[in-house]
Amino acid sequence: MMTKRSSSITIRDVARQANVSVATVSRYINHSQPVAPETAMRLESVLSSLNYVPHAAARNLATRTTRIIGLLLSDIRADFYAPLLRGLDSVVQTQGYNLIVSSYHPEVNNQVPLPIGPQNTDGIVVFADSLGDDIIRSLVEKQFPVVLIHRSAPKDCNVPCVTIENKATSRKLVDHLIEDHGRRRIAFLRGPQLQEDSKWREQGYCESLLNHNLAIDPTLILNGEFDRDIARESVLSFFQRSSSDCDAIFCGDDDAAIGVVGALHDLHLDIPGQVSVVGFDDQSISAYLDPPLTTVRAPTEMVGRQAAAVLFGLLSGQSVAPVMLLQTEIVYRRSCGCHE
């Protein structure tokens, strides 16, 4: 259960210990005006050491009068997020709450306050790499409700996560390319470096190759970043090298696959006659690509629903499972060589 902050700690105590004015503390807490980065860091340290929660937020956490849940993302551009938002919002609405969404980039924003958190929500859902481990630990230490999605909890940190099965299905997908379509030089397009989904998918790819006595060729592991433009340029650059060739491409996600399909069309390479293409996620557009994309169907909307349910469980003081792993399945279409 969450505990209330001590009523003896006031905003004046924070200002005194941080050696700033009460007005500066107020600006920082309420985000009404920016403060200098070094001041923000000092204030965050003092607030954490005093376990201070602003009066309004403390009342809201105790009575849930904000009735707001937050979702923190590292990127808001990808089509992937639409079903995730639907799933979250469907549960949030049934509980009589509102959902607010914000982006946050730890590598850029680590010296500015979080846009959503204890100051304006009753709890947050954190997507993948949108928060660093230290900030997650800090929120959990303050007993602020946090649920992670598509990533595991930091070491020694008691925070629940909802994610999907990546490795076994990726291995099965590459098995299919090898066993059913005779592919031998299979490229893999990695996602962002810190994304656990991408790491597990790459492990599944590597395991399948090794199980079939195929060497893992580093030149076939390309940078895709879960981004169609980056993936497109990676594939174009790959085939422009005179010694480069492959007969299949496993794209880390469907956004990357969209870029890959476009690049292969530009290179006048037949899909799947010359190069099979497969993806991951089964975005709504994937069935309408030319040719339709073989991919892994991830229960993205269900991830959102389950994450919201876990968060409301925390808010009501229930015990929740530390990890919820949702299953995935392959959807076979023409881009790998199958006939629909």
Q: Which homologous superfamily does the CATH classification assign to the domain defined by 167-297+330-336?
A: Response regulator (3.40.50.2300)
Please report the pLDDT score of residue 3 as a whole number.
38
Domain locations in the chain?
167-297+330-336
What 3 state SS string does the chain have? CCCCCCCCCCHHHHHHHHCCCHHHHHHHHHCCCCCCHHHHHHHHHHHHHHCCCCHHHHHHHHHCCCCEEEEEECCCCCCCHHHHHHHHHHHHHHCCCEEEEEECCHHHHCCCCCCCCCCCCCEEEEECCCCCHHHHHHHHHCCCCEEEECCCCCCCCCCCEEEECCHHHHHHHHHHHHHHHCCCCEEEEECCCCCHHHHHHHHHHHHHHHHCCCCCCHHHEEECCCCHHHHHHHHHHHHHCCCCCCCEEEECCHHHHHHHHHHHHHCCCCCCCCCEEECCECCCCHHHCCCCCEEEECCHHHHHHHHHHHHHHHHCCCCCCCEEEECCEEECCHHHCCCC
What is the tens place of the pLDDT at every residue in 293-331? 999 999 999 999 999 999 999 998 899 999 999 999 999
pLDDT tens-place string over residues 30-59: 665 677 878 888 888 888 888 876 655 544
> Of 100-114, 121-135, 201-215, which one has max mean pLDDT?
201-215
257 pLDDT higher than 80: yes
pTM of the complete model beyond 0.85:
no
Lowest mean pLDDT among 99-113, 227-241, 298-312: 99-113
Where b means 16+ CB within 10 Å and e means fewer, 301-330 reads bbbbbbbbbbbbbbbeeeebeeebeeebeb
Sheet holding 123-127, edge to edge: 98-103, 68-73, 123-127, 146-149, 161-164, 323-326
Pair type for strands 248-251 and 295-297: unpaired
pLDDT grade for 8, boundaries at 50, 70 and 90:
low
Cα distance between residue 159 and residue 148, in whole Å:
7
Tens digit of pLDDT for each residue in 181-231?
A: 999 999 999 999 889 999 999 999 999 999 999 999 999 999 999 999 999
The pLDDT mean for the chain works out to 90
C-alpha torsion angle, residues 84, 87, 284, 230 (rounded to 10) = 0
Longest CA–CA span in the chain (Å) reads 72
Where does residue 95 rank: exposed (0-12), middle (13-18), buried (19+ CB within 10 A)?
middle
